[in-house]
């Protein structure tokens, strides 16, 4: 058996404490060596209450000489980093980590916009250290979507698709109270930060039948969710399949539906449940209570051992998620004008 991948986590936010930290600690292929954040207070808050069998070193911008990010990245006993920092600063940290020879798993979205994402992909391809870079998108690891995809051939030709996601972000909600999310320095606000998840799920169901054109309208329903909190769009795939894409973080009722209809039936998927119906009969279903992050982190560690990351973590996949979100927003700015991807 290969030695565990020695990780550092760069970031100390909610998702690190609730998901990344437990995932690294639970993986037999991973070992946690260090955590960095901009403040030592945040690092200590993440580690508080965690059951850790070995020593974890702490780094921050306010910890003094020898305890900053550059010092962490200079360590020879750290193989890889998970980057979970505010969207606008992630590309700089990804580049710095790759240049230091560290394998990188960076949180979605890949970058704040298409231009920045393409520049980052180009930069990573030119890195000479041999470090691998993957983008984390836990929805690609939900067994609900994976199960639905298994039936694509039996279902026949796709006829239509529907993505409808409604959630309500209120002042006081834990993610809203994150300072960089309150006043986002990137397009779309929560529609970018959260929307790429749901687009990733839809794209997994559609497979190689890629969305090529979108048209949309958007609205800001609550000023505190600026710049925009709702987008209603339509999309067309390469083979002409049409569907609707609705995402809102100002939906008081809430709800989620990701359905693709085919000649012989349909698949209907949420993060917690998948239903597959063929010829009017339910032929399979699966329920799931996890969040995909344990599977995602373990897959990344295994990819490092193999010298090739899981295709689900390819930066190009994350770019495709981002492209759909951005083009929906751009179409809305132009009064619903169609946008080619």
Over residues 123-164, the pLDDT tens digits come to: 999 999 999 999 999 999 999 999 999 999 999 999 999 999
138 within 8 A of 109, measured Cβ to Cβ? no
If pLDDT is split at 50, 70 and 90, which confidence band does 53 have?
low
Q: What are the structure tokens assigned to 163, written together? A: 């993505």
Q: What is the CATH number of the domain that holds 14?
A: 3.40.50.720
Selection from 268, 270, 277, 203 nearest residue 241 by Cα: 203
Q: What is the CATH number of the domain that holds 152?
A: 3.30.360.10
Which residue range is the domain that position 221 belongs to?
Answer: 142-288+322-340
Q: Do 9 and 87 reside in the same domain of the chain?
A: yes
Q: What is the mean pLDDT of residues 37-64?
A: 91
Q: Do 97 and 124 reside in the same domain of the chain?
A: yes
Q: Do 95 and 146 reside in the same domain of the chain?
A: no
Q: Do 12 and 72 reside in the same domain of the chain?
A: yes
Q: Do 165 and 88 reside in the same domain of the chain?
A: no
Q: Do 170 and 277 reside in the same domain of the chain?
A: yes
If pLDDT is split at 50, 70 and 90, which confidence band does 54 have?
confident
End-to-end CA distance of the chain: 43
33 within 8 A of 57, measured Cβ to Cβ? yes
Q: What are the structure tokens assigned to 99, written together? A: 């240049």
Q: Do 209 and 226 reside in the same domain of the chain?
A: yes
Selection from 312, 309, 290, 300 nearest residue 83 by Cα: 300
Q: Do 57 and 148 reside in the same domain of the chain?
A: no
Over residues 257-299, the pLDDT tens digits come to: 999 999 999 999 999 999 999 999 999 999 999 999 999 999 9
pTM score, whole prediction:
0.96
Q: Do 135 and 158 reside in the same domain of the chain?
A: no
Q: Do 29 and 178 reside in the same domain of the chain?
A: no
Q: Do 26 and 163 reside in the same domain of the chain?
A: no
**What is the pairing mode between strands 250-262 and 281-287?**
unpaired
Residue 196, pLDDT > 80, answer yes
Number of domains observed in the structure of the chain: 2
85 within 8 A of 39, measured Cβ to Cβ? no
pLDDT at 51: 82
Give the Cα separation of 238 and 161 in Å (integer).
Answer: 13
Q: Do 254 and 156 reside in the same domain of the chain?
A: yes
């Amino acid at each position: 058996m290969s030695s565990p991948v020695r990780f550092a986590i760069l970031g100390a936010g909610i998702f690190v404490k609730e998901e990344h930290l437990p995932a690294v600690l639970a993986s037999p292929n991973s070992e946690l060596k260090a955590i960095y954040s901009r403040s030592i207070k945040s690092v200590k808050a993440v580690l508080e209450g965690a059951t850790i069998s070995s020593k974890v070193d702490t780094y921050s911008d306010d910890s003094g000489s020898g305890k900053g990010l550059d010092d962490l990245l200079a360590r020879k006993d750290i193989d890889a980093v998970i980057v979970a920092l505010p969207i606008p600063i992630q590309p700089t940290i990804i580049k710095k980590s790759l240049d230091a020879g560290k394998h990188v798993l960076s949180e979605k979205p890949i970058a704040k916009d298409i231009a920045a994402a393409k520049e980052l992909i180009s930069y990573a391809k030119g890195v000479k250290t041999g470090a691998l870079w993957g983008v984390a998108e836990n929805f690609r690891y939900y067994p609900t979507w994976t199960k639905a995809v298994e039936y694509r051939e039996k279902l026949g030709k796709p006829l239509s698709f529907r993505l409808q996601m409604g959630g309500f972000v209120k002042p006081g909600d834990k993610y809203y109270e994150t300072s960089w999310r309150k006043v986002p320095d990137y397009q779309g606000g929560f529609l970018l930060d959260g929307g790429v998840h749901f687009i990733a799920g839809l794209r997994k169901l559609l497979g190689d039948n890629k969305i090529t054109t979108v048209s949309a309208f958007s609205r800001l329903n609550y000023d505190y969710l600026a710049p925009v909190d709702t987008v209603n769009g339509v999309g067309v795939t390469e083979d002409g399949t049409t569907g609707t894409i609705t995402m809102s973080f100002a939906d008081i009722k809430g709800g989620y539906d990701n359905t693709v209809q085919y000649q012989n039936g349909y698949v209907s998927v949420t993060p917690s449940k998948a239903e597959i119906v063929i010829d009017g009969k339910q032929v399979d279903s699966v329920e799931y209570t996890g969040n995909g992050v344990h599977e995602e982190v373990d897959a990344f560690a295994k990819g490092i051992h193999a010298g090739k990351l899981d295709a689900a973590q390819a930066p190009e996949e994350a770019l495709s998620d981002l492209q759909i979100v951005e083009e929906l927003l751009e179409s809305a700015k132009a009064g619903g004008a169609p946008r080619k991807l």
